[in-house]
Chain A
Amino acid sequence: QKEVEQNSGPLSVPEGAIASLNCTYSDRGSQSFFWYRQYSGKSPELIMSIYSNGDKEDGRFTAQLNKASQYVSLLIRDSQPSDSATYLCAVKGVDSNYQLIWGAGTKLIIKP
């Protein structure tokens, strides 16, 4: 059973601080890694995709991938109250027939 694990939270972070969200996965053959943001009652929205080891930055968001440790993380700098949402990690690879394997999500709360 291929799995993606996330801490369910809630993770509470002060406004302006760095929020760090973590995700581990079990399938060593995984090739593509995604972070989605989901506001309550809304659909998942893609934030970042990362395909190779290292860091990828997009504005206030940085995704970090370490395939050897089977670990992917999302950093949110200068956190804003509007960042309060559930963050979903998703992984796909050959062994999952390229279907997304989803974590259950981490609820992030940014406190003003």
Chain B
Amino acid sequence: NAGVTQTPKFQVLKTGQSMTLQCAQDMNHNSMYWYRQDPGMGLRLIYYSASEGTTDKGEVPNGYNVSRLNKREFSLRLESAAPSQTSVYFCASSESVNTEAFFGQGTRLTVV
């Protein structure tokens, strides 16, 4: 049972480039999330999807877009990467918005 799987694990982008971070879960969870984690700032929610077919902005959505492709998959897109988006990105899922979240292994993104 893989849980939450993110790809890629590492990525270096040049300023202005675009990329999509992929996330898939095999726990039949309804809710999925994208977080970023920066040193000393804790986890910050970028976007979430409470259920298939819905997406909502979190605390720091600017510069990002998301797609809930189906119940299993939730992608995060950076349209024009900026150095301020250098961070570690985590995808997570939960059975519902009321229950505990389980995390993927993370993507370490550097924008130069």
A residues adjacent to B (C-beta < 8 A): 8, 31-32, 34, 42-46, 49, 88, 90, 92, 97-100, 102-105
B residues adjacent to A (C-beta < 8 A): 40-45, 48, 50, 56, 58, 90, 97-106
A49 and B100 alpha carbons, distance in the complex (Å) = 7
A44 and B33 alpha carbons, distance in the complex (Å) = 13
Q: Is the beta-carbon distance between A102 and B106 smaller than 8 angstroms?
A: no
User: A103 to chain B: which residues have CB within 8 Å?
Assistant: 42
User: A104 to chain B: which residues have CB within 8 Å?
Assistant: 40-42
Q: Could you say which of A34, A42, A88, A92 has the most chain B C-beta atoms within 10 Å of its C-beta?
A: A92
A57 and B43 alpha carbons, distance in the complex (Å) = 26
User: A99 to chain B: which residues have CB within 8 Å?
Assistant: 45, 48, 58, 97
A76 and B99 alpha carbons, distance in the complex (Å) = 23
Chain A residue nearest to B108 in the complex (CB)? A41
Nearest 3 Cβ contacts at the A-B interface = A98-B97, A104-B42, A43-B103
Given A99-B48, A99-B58, are A44 and B43 also a contact pair (CB < 8 Å)?
yes
- Chain B proximity of A22: nearest CB distance (Å): 16
Besides A43-B106, A45-B103, A100-B45, 15 more A-B contacts (Cβ < 8 Å) are A31-B98, A32-B99, A34-B101, A42-B106, A43-B103, A43-B104, A44-B103, A46-B101, A46-B102, A88-B42, A98-B97, A98-B98, A103-B42, A104-B40, A104-B41
